[in-house]
Amino acid sequence: MRTLIVVDVQNDFMPGGALAVPGGDGVIEPLNRAMGRFDLVVATQDWHPPDHVSFASNHKGKEPFDIIDLHGKEQTLWPDHCVQGSQGAELHAGLEEARIEAVFRKGMDREIDSYSALYDNAHLKTTGLAGYLREKGSRELYLGGLAGDFCVYFTIKDALGEGFAVTVIEDAVRAIDDEAYGKLKQELQDKGVRFVLSGEL
């Protein structure tokens, strides 16, 4: 079974959003086009409480994109984004939600960030996505969404660690930092991740 995972295609990551990914809205058309080619489509959603530890506003004297030590791990501080129940946290209206069978929310624990769709950043808690995929009989995962150098990348790493085969739909991904993403892409290719275009599905 082939599964498409739509990562964090939310309003706050779109142009004009609280944490805009350059060209973020460019992923919507290729993702919608791709959905009909998969047995299963699931989505992920950043879903933070207002007092989330990753928000710079919750650290006196800190600015967005500062880096702090958090429980012995490096943590980038972000602008407030994808706050639970806010318009910014909603999936983009242009996404064909009717084709999405399940939505997995992450980043709900105020004490730790969660880039990956499978685990929090310290691998203390699972989102349940890996178990859900196995229960559905899914072994081949295809990913698109935002942002390539953060949530997409860490989801891929965890999926590989769980034994899934992973393919990235290249034209359905945008990154915060294209140069950083280029280096990560090479790392993932070295680990066996395939990169295809939506038209090649």
Residue 11 is assigned to a structural domain of this protein? yes
What's the number of domains the chain is made of? 1
Is residue 3 scored above 90 in pLDDT?
A: yes
pLDDT value, residue 60: 94
In the structure, what pLDDT confidence band is assigned to residue 94 with cuts at 50, 70 and 90? very high
Residue 67 is assigned to a structural domain of this protein? no
pLDDT value, residue 71: 83
pLDDT in tens, 28-66: 999 999 999 999 999 999 999 999 999 999 999 999 999
Active-site amino acid positions: 8, 106, 151
Residue 40 is assigned to a structural domain of this protein? yes
pLDDT value, residue 100: 97
The CATH number given to whatever domain includes residue 187 is: 3.40.50.850
Beta-carbon neighbour count of residue 45 at 10 Å? 21
pLDDT value, residue 47: 97
pLDDT value, residue 70: 86
Q: In this structure, is the dihedral angle defined by the CA atoms of residues 26, 171, 99 and 132, taken in order, positive or negative?
A: negative
Residue 128 is assigned to a structural domain of this protein? yes
Residue 189 is assigned to a structural domain of this protein? yes
In the structure, what pLDDT confidence band is assigned to residue 149 with cuts at 50, 70 and 90? very high
Residue 69 is assigned to a structural domain of this protein? no
Domain that holds residue 192: 2-49+83-200
165 has which bridge partners? 140
16's CB contacts (< 8 A; 6+ apart) are none
Residue 126 is assigned to a structural domain of this protein? yes
Is residue 137 scored above 90 in pLDDT?
A: yes
pLDDT value, residue 101: 97
Is residue 184 scored above 90 in pLDDT?
A: yes
